[in-house]
Amino acid sequence: MTSLATHSISVYSNPQSLEKPLGDFCFKGYRRGMKLIFISNRITRSDFKKALSLYGLDLEEMCRSGQLIVSDKEESYLKGGLFKPENMLRMLEDTTLEAVNSGFNGLCVGGDMSWILDTSLDMNGLLEYESEVNVLMKKLPFSAACIYDISAMDGKSLLQVSRLHPFTLEPEGPVPNFDYFEKPLPLEDCTSEECIRIFRGVSVMLSELLRLRGLYTENHSESVSRLARSIAEQFGRGEELSFNLEAAGRVHDIGMLSLYSDMIVKPGKLTWYECKILHEHPVLGYELVKKVPFPRKVARAVLEHHERLDGSGYPLGLRGSQISLEGRILAVAEVVAAMSHYRTYRVEHGTRMALKEISDNSGKLYDSDVVSACYRSFERGFTF
C-alpha cells in the first residue's frame, strides 16, 4: 500500500513528454479508488486523453461515470481572472472531503500550473500556495501533480517551486525530489574526525530517542545499523557506503515517533487508519533527517527502507532499480533484525526464520546481491 498523499512536480517543454508520467500518476490514483481531476491549459484535453489511453483508461467513460473531472483554469483556479491561493486551497479541501463522502478513497489532482505566473499573482503567492498544499496533505488523502512549462519560468523561480515538492513525477512514477531538501554536505567534505564524530553522535542520539520511547524490546535501530554496515562492507565499495548505512540504520525509524503510544504496543493487526499512519513514517523520517547535513543518500535510504523490488512496498511503491542500493541494503537489514526479535503482534521469531524470509524472496522482494551479502555477513561471524 502506497501513500494516498503525494505532492509531485513535473516540468516539460513538450506536452508529449508528459504522457507517460501523467498517465501513470492518474492510473495509480484510479487503482487506489481516488476521484481524479485534471486542469488543462497548455496540456490540452486531447493530450490528457492520450496519456490515459497508455494505461487502458478511457477519458470519456471515466467522465461519464463520475470518476474523472476535466476542466480548464477558468473553471477551477481562476475566479474573475485572479488566482487566490486561499480560495484554491479551500476548494481542494472541500472537494477531497466531498469525494471521500461519495465513497472514493481520496482526491487525485493533476494540473498545468505555469500559467499562474501570467496572472497578477506574484511569485511569493505561488510559493505560498505550493507550501500550503504540503500542509493540506498532512490532513487529507489528497494527491497532486503540479505541472510547469519550463519555457514560462526562469531557473531561479523553477528551483524555488521545486523545493516545495517532496516528489518529482517521472515516467516510472513519483520519486524523491532532492531539491526539496537543503543540500547536505557531501561526505568528502566531512571526512574530518570531528565531522564524522558529530554525525555518529547525532545518529546515536536519535536511536536512543526511539529506545526511550519504548518502541522495541531490543535496541532495534542499533541492530539494523550494525547489520546494514556489515552488509555494505561485503560490497567492497569503501567507507562512504558503509558510513551511509551505519547512519541510516540508526535513524531509519525516527518517523515512528509520530505513532500513537497504543499503536506501539498493540497486539494483533492494525486498523486501516493505523496502517495509513504507519506507512507515512518513512516520509516523516526523511523530512526529519534532512535537518541534519548527513550525506543525502542517508535520507534517501530512510525513505526507501520499506520499498520492495516488486513495487509492493511503501510509501512510494518503487520497483527494482528505482530503489537506491542504500535503500535495498537497509530494507534487508531491517527485515532480518526485526524478524530476529520478539514483537507483540507475532510469536515466532529468530534469525534462522529471518534469513529464510529473505532467501525465499530473493529477487522478488529483496535484491539478490544484498541477500547474498547478508548471508556472507553471518557466515563471517556477524551476530546481534
Pairing type for strands 173-176 and 167-170 reads antiparallel
Q: Write down the CATH number for the domain with range 187-379.
A: 1.10.3210.10
Q: State the pLDDT at residue 121.
A: 58
Q: State the pLDDT at residue 221.
A: 86
The pTM of this model reads 0.56
Dihedral (CA of 50, 54, 55, 58) sign: positive
b (16+ CB within 10 A) / e for 26-43 = bbbbbebebbbbbbbbeb
CB 328 within 8 A of CB 362: no
Least Cα distance to 308 among 255, 249, 370, 263 occurs for 370
The residue extents of the domains of the chain are: 7-180, 187-379
Same fold: 7-180 with 187-379: no
Pairing type for strands 142-149 and 167-170 reads unpaired
Q: Please enumerate in sequence order all residues whose Cβ is within 8 A of that of 379, keeping only pairs 6 or more positions apart, or say none.
A: none
Question: How far apart are alpha carbons 152 and 98 in whole angstroms?
Answer: 34
CATH topology of domain 7-180: Rossmann fold (3.40.50)
Question: How far apart are alpha carbons 126 and 77 in whole angstroms?
Answer: 12
Q: State the pLDDT at residue 77.
A: 56
Least Cα distance to 21 among 39, 1, 45, 47 occurs for 47
Question: How far apart are alpha carbons 71 and 59 in whole angstroms?
Answer: 12
pLDDT, tens digit only, all 384 positions of the chain: 335 678 899 888 888 888 888 999 999 899 989 999 998 888 888 999 999 999 999 999 999 999 999 987 666 655 555 677 788 888 889 999 999 999 999 999 998 887 776 665 567 778 888 888 988 888 889 899 999 888 777 777 788 888 888 888 877 777 777 677 544 444 444 556 666 677 777 777 877 777 776 655 557 888 999 999 999 999 998 888 999 999 999 999 888 877 655 666 666 676 766 677 778 889 888 888 877 777 778 888 999 999 999 999 988 888 898 899 999 999 999 999 999 976 554 555 789 999 999 999 999 999 999 999 999 999 999 998
Question: How far apart are alpha carbons 247 and 63 in whole angstroms?
Answer: 49
